[in-house]
Chains A and B, each alone.
Chain A
Amino acid sequence: MRQHHHHQPTPTTAHPAAIRFFHWVWVYAIGCMVFSGWQIYNASPSLPFSFPRWTALGGWLGGALAWHFSAMWLLAIDGLAYLIYGFISGHFRRDLSIPTPRAVVRDFWSALTFRLGHRIGHYNAVQRLLYLGVIGALLLQVTTGLAIWKPVQLAALVGVLGGYPIARNIHLATMFLIVAFVVIHVVLVIIFPRTLVSMIVGRPAEPRSRA
């Protein structure tokens, strides 16, 4: 990354308008899905814990399901539009190439020792791993969600996931992965608040290297 080996031309905006739009729609959609999901979980916890009442969205099971089955469209449409945009615009190829394990270890170590530079508009190997990870988790969440929404009509999908009760627990576990990503993501934004400005109003990408 720090050596200028055959990188693509730098885009003019670190976070293009389309990415910013998808991002903020996601914040709302994922927020609705997670908080209503907690209320749905609380109706019949499959593990020995419940989510705090004050975090629940929808007031009761019926309200929470209404939120969940409404926000799911927003999440799905936003996700689909992002995937189409990502492939067509070259966003995935340019910004989210799969990092090598070595690059992840190297950048993770640099980050731990506070030597990893953060350039707005360029993703290091750890960031790429996290973003690809959360995209994968969201795709898994939509898949397991469809399976437990329609376990008879989509019986083959439920079968692949190991049956209805297991698919429901995978849906819960994947929620935790997504929430873990959000926590890490928000902590990093607090450390690098410039990225928040860029995600709201858009900023020119910084030069790839200042060294």
Chain B
Amino acid sequence: MSIPSLLQWVEGTDLSTAIREGALPYPILGGVHLLAIALFGGMVLMTDFRLLGWAMRRTAVPDVVRQFQAWKRAGFVVLVASGLLLAWAEPLKLYRSPSFWVKMALLALVGVHALVFRLRVYGKSARLDVAETVEGKLAAAISLVLWGGLIVSGRLIAYDA
């Protein structure tokens, strides 16, 4: 089965049709996706800004990193779940959208970032103590670039079709 015909099948499912053609599901899912950026994006920003030494300097690095971790994960789950459902609604359109593939590549890099830095920075944040480290700053800077890119490429998807 070729990829386009598989995506055609996805687009033919009841769930896909319901999200695409219903008046409410699509805007609600888009709203949830956006709301997750609004409510949890601040924690990504503040974690990275703390690692860079720009924000919340009264609070020790591990205190900031650890206390935001569970919330950031919850936000990520909401983003992925709402994103998957939005993609399920129009897979063929996304398959043809260059911005979508840029976004997926950046998402893959977020995964690589987590693998590389989880143990070295975020998992061992106690070692960072109150002072910032070069490795922590590098992790934070890359994270900010990736998340900025995800927002821009995500927004551009709407303009590709």
Q: Are A and B a genuine interacting pair, yes or no?
A: no
